[in-house]
Amino acid sequence: MRFGRGLQVSFPAFRTFLILAVCLLANCNRKHVTTIAVIPKASADIFWQSVHAGAVKGSWSDGVRIVWDGPPNETDIAGEMQIVETMINRQVDAIALAPSDRSAFKIVLNRAAEAHIPVVVYDSGVDSDRYVSFVATDNYLGGKLGADRLGAILHGKGEIVMIKTTPGGASTMAREEGFRQEIAAKFPGIQILDERFGMASIAQSLTVAENMLTAHPGLSGIFCSNESGTEGTAQALKARHSRVKLVGFDFSPLLLDELREGVIDSLVVQDPFGMGEQAVETAVKAVRHEKTPRQIFLPPRLVNAENLNRPDVQAQLNPDLEKYLRTSGTL
């Protein structure tokens, strides 16, 4: 085949040239899909399902998809770290991470930074500055809200205990410290007799609550710093027909039923749907080199029998999980 004077190109070579040109044009016209890995501490609780649904909504912009993957429970720190490593190796565009331990994840955050993958930390803090933004509930304030409620319904006096979540979890540690400090500052007539870990397990929290109720027969109140701890404690109180006042953290349909029945006095609730949505939207901004705030704090809310049926409270407690999780292929 001739192209002008003195230039000859064989037909096979010309055909190869055409194929390459078509492929290049096709790739130029194909829009890049931004992939955000969203890694929770666990996947079973309603809290994390709500985060997942919010993350799906946050990805509903042109050219964005999420990959949701987390360990089965909050105590599997090594498993969660391995998921982060896997996402780095897959070269996702960004990672939204809820670290289950504030110190252990420094190594994988360094790895992500070296791979030029922006990380949005959400729910719990981490002992590192190698992230673009932190999205979380104001957990210290949440602990204070729980203390104010328990102090008020006990009229400022009595003996109480606290069922904590896990050692090293920054979000729940902040709640526990907020509760502890507020009781000390505002309610000198209330004594915290005991603090034990429920290890993010309903069964273990139930056992811990039963042991505490036996060890402290004059107990007036209990504060729990997460969903599973609150549920295990509520089961222990129901089994004993106990009138000990319970203030818990987080919500689920079961916990809301127990609130209506009076087993639970109050719940300090977060906005997990909003947290997931904000985490993904912030990660997308980071990928697109848009300005992102260093911290985004979502206010907690105290829910009890008096305000449970208010429209704004119901909107926060009952996001349409099925609508979002079905589109993600989860349901």
287 or 326: which leads in pLDDT: 287
Q: What average pLDDT score do residues 1-27 get?
A: 48
User: Are 43 and 128 contained in the same domain?
Assistant: yes
> What domain range includes position 199?
139-269
User: Are 87 and 236 contained in the same domain?
Assistant: no
2, part of any domain: no
Identity of the amino acid at 142: G
User: Are 78 and 145 contained in the same domain?
Assistant: no
Write down which residue in 252, 269, 286 finishes a domain.
Answer: 269
User: Are 176 and 244 contained in the same domain?
Assistant: yes
What whole-number distance in Å separates Cα of residue 102 and Cα of residue 110? 14
328, part of any domain: no
119, part of any domain: yes
80, part of any domain: yes
User: Are 51 and 116 contained in the same domain?
Assistant: yes
257, part of any domain: yes
Q: What average pLDDT score do residues 305-326 get?
A: 93
User: Are 231 and 178 contained in the same domain?
Assistant: yes
Query: Could you tell me the two tokens for 64?
Result: 């964005």
Look at residue 31 and tell me whether its pLDDT is greater than 70.
Answer: no
What pLDDT is stored for residue 62 in this prediction?
78
User: Are 133 and 279 contained in the same domain?
Assistant: yes
The CATH number that applies at residue 100 is: 3.40.50.2300
Contact 167, 227 (CB under 8 A): no
The total domain count for the chain is: 2
User: Are 258 and 144 contained in the same domain?
Assistant: yes
User: Are 178 and 250 contained in the same domain?
Assistant: yes
User: Are 290 and 254 contained in the same domain?
Assistant: no
Q: Is 187 helix (H, G, I), strand (E, B) or coil?
A: coil
What whole-number distance in Å separates Cα of residue 236 and Cα of residue 225? 16
Residues in the chain: 331
204, part of any domain: yes
Torsions phi, psi for 272 (to 5 deg)? -65, -35
Q: Does the predicted TM-score (pTM) go above 0.85?
A: no
41, part of any domain: yes
Q: Rounded mean pLDDT of the chain?
A: 92
User: Are 194 and 45 contained in the same domain?
Assistant: no
Tell me the β-bridge partners of 67: 37
Tens of pLDDT, residue by residue over 239-295, are 999 999 999 999 999 999 999 999 999 999 999 999 999 999 999 999 999 999 999
What whole-number distance in Å separates Cα of residue 224 and Cα of residue 267? 9
- DSSP H or E segment with residue 203: helix 202-215
Tens of pLDDT, residue by residue over 183-236, are 999 999 999 999 999 999 999 999 999 999 999 999 999 999 999 999 999 999
11, part of any domain: no
The runs of H, that is alpha helices, within 59-138 are: 77-89, 106-114
